[in-house]
């Protein structure tokens, strides 16, 4: 039996011991997490295979906090993918591999949210995150970017080196006053906004971090602006809602940092043979010009 087969067998035993029988396990995804629908029941098992293999204790901490964040947001009325209330949601230890249980969301067709609807969804999320009382890693999701940047220092591509020079400036600025950082989803991009019968819901709370203001908005719109330019409708709408210069500068900084995080991380992953090199290269080709439009002094020497 394969490793995944053994994990699925353990899930079935757990469910059967709780009185849930005649389950057909359906694999929904198998990337960083193995995701299994316990059909026909409205329960999904999310198994942190990669993270558990790297550091089982850390995987438990991440999954346990993820459940608490989801419940907190749910209590605040934020539309989220919620832990199941039909079984103990976990985390469950399956021989050193950790798993959590969530409500199943059936495939749903929805119209994409309009710019105003998208911003409202992000703002509700960000506002509720401010009240989350727990230990939150400082710049947690950003630290992976720092690790990727170190690896890319050895790559003799001038475009990458130019981007890394910008990264060094942004990283320095980001660490100047960590007291200004705020609780954030960490990775609130559009793919973590899922269509459901109840409407759009937020998912994937593994990367909750203390980040600069506007981080969640920047996460949502960063790649949209990168691929569609600064005239992208949601990006333009956000700018119309930010009236004072200080907030405009803070949002611009967050957008640049989020574009750097995505581009550097994807390049590192792809060059190591694990990601989409064509997509990462396209990001690289676009990033410098978009960053220059937002803050030319980060790319060029300003007097």
Q: How far apart are CA 226 and CA 232, in angstroms?
A: 9
Per the domain annotation, does 75 fall within a domain?
yes
In the listed set 103, 129, 163, which residue is the last one of a domain according to the structure? 103
Residues 91 and 123 both lie in one domain: no
Q: How many domains does the chain have?
A: 2
Residue 302, pLDDT score = 65
Residues 98 and 125 both lie in one domain: no
Closest-CA residue to 102 (of 122, 79, 86): 86
pLDDT per residue as tens digits for the range 17-64: 888 888 999 999 887 899 999 999 999 999 999 889 989 999 999 999
Per the domain annotation, does 182 fall within a domain?
yes
Per the domain annotation, does 109 fall within a domain?
no
Element (H or E) spanning 296, and its range? helix 296-299
Residues 121 and 249 both lie in one domain: yes
Per the domain annotation, does 110 fall within a domain?
no
pLDDT per residue as tens digits for the range 121-170: 999 999 999 999 888 999 999 999 999 999 999 999 999 999 999 999 99
- Find the CATH number of the domain harbouring 58: 3.30.200.20
Residues 72 and 194 both lie in one domain: no
What DSSP state is assigned to residue 243? Answer: -
What DSSP state is assigned to residue 139? Answer: T
Per the domain annotation, does 229 fall within a domain?
yes
Residues 53 and 140 both lie in one domain: no
Domain that holds residue 126: 115-299
Query: Which pTM does this prediction carry?
Result: 0.92
Per the domain annotation, does 162 fall within a domain?
yes
In the listed set 69, 103, 137, which residue is the last one of a domain according to the structure? 103
* Mean confidence (pLDDT) of the chain: 93
Per the domain annotation, does 199 fall within a domain?
yes
Residues 179 and 295 both lie in one domain: yes
Residues 94 and 183 both lie in one domain: no
Per-residue confidence band for 13, with pLDDT thresholds at 50, 70 and 90:
confident
- Find the CATH number of the domain harbouring 277: 3.90.1200.10
Residues 257 and 138 both lie in one domain: yes
Residues 37 and 183 both lie in one domain: no
Residues 129 and 270 both lie in one domain: yes
Closest-CA residue to 266 (of 257, 279, 252): 279
Per the domain annotation, does 108 fall within a domain?
no
Residue 1, pLDDT score = 63
Measured distance between the N- and C-terminal CA atoms of the chain, rounded to whole angstroms:
65
Q: How far apart are CA 193 and CA 185, in angstroms?
A: 12
In the listed set 54, 82, 103, which residue is the last one of a domain according to the structure? 103
CB neighbour burial string for 197-209, b if at least 16 within 10 angstroms, e if fewer? eeebbbbbbbbbb
Residues 205 and 285 both lie in one domain: yes
Under a CB-based contact definition with an 8 Å cutoff, are residues 122 and 194 in contact? Answer: no
Residues 179 and 282 both lie in one domain: yes
Q: Torsion angle of alpha carbons 113, 233, 275, 192, nearest 10°?
A: -30
Q: Which long-range contacts (CB under 8 A, 24 or more apart) does 112-117 make?
A: 113/193, 113/200, 115/233, 115/234, 115/236, 115/237, 115/238, 116/237, 117/200
- The pair phi, psi for residue 45, each rounded to 5°, is -95, 130
Determine the 3-state secondary structure of 143 from DSSP.
Answer: helix
């Amino acid at each position: 039996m394969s490793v995944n087969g053994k994990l699925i067998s353990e899930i079935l035993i757990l469910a059967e011991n709780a009185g849930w029988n005649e389950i057909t396990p359906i694999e929904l995804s198998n990337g960083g997490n193995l995701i299994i629908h316990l059909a026909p029941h409205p329960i999904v098992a999310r198994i942190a295979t990669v993270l558990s293999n790297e550091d089982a204790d850390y995987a438990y901490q991440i999954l346990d906090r993820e459940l608490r964040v989801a419940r907190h947001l749910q209590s605040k009325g934020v539309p989220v993918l919620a832990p199941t209330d039909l079984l103990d949601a976990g985390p469950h230890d399956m021989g050193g591999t950790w798993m959590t249980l969530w409500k199943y969301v059936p495939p749903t067709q929805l119209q994409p949210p309009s710019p105003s609807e998208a911003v409202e969804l992000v703002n509700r999320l960000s506002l509720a995150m401010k009240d989350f009382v727990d230990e939150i890693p400082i710049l947690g999701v950003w630290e992976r970017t720092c690790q990727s940047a170190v690896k890319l220092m050895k790559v003799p591509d001038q475009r990458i080196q130019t981007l890394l020079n910008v990264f060094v400036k942004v990283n320095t600025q980001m660490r100047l006053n960590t007291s200004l950082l705020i609780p954030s989803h960490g990775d609130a991009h559009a793919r973590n906004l899922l269509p459901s019968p109840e409407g759009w819901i937020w998912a994937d709370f593994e990367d909750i971090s203390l980040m600069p203001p506007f981080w969640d908005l920047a996460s949502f719109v960063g790649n949209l602006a990168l691929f569609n330019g600064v005239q992208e409708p949601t990006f333009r709408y956000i700018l119309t809602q930010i009236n004072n210069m200080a907030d405009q500068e803070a949002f611009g900084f967050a957008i640049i940092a989020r574009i750097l995080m995505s581009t550097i991380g994807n390049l590192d992953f792809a060059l190591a043979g694990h990601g989409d090199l064509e997509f990462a290269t396209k990001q690289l080709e676009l990033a410098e010009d978009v960053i220059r439009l937002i803050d030319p002094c980060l790319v060029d020497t300003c007097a």
